[in-house]
Amino acid sequence: MIIRSYVHADLERVTQLTIDTFGPFYEDSFRPLVGETIFANQHGRWRDDYRK
């Protein structure tokens, strides 16, 4: 395994990796736990939030 420092060119891939990693939590665990209304108001655009 080679570990290297982050470079800006990594941003898109790291962001997508983060979305893929946290997707099951938001969609399969958190959404059913809090319900659609709360989820939509608090985290309905969670993918866009990570991209920002």
2 in the Ramachandran plot: left (φ > 0), alpha (ψ -120 to 50) or beta?
Answer: beta
CA atoms of 38 and 22, how far apart (whole Å): 18
Residue 11's pLDDT is 97
Residue 48's pLDDT is 96
Residue 4's pLDDT is 95
Averages of pLDDT over each 10 residues, the chain, 52 residues: 96 96 95 95 94 94
Q: What is the pTM of this model?
A: 0.77
Residue 36's pLDDT is 95
Q: Where are the domains of the chain?
A: 8-51
Mapping DSSP to helix (H, G, I), strand (E, B) and coil, where does residue 16 land? helix
Residue 39's pLDDT is 95
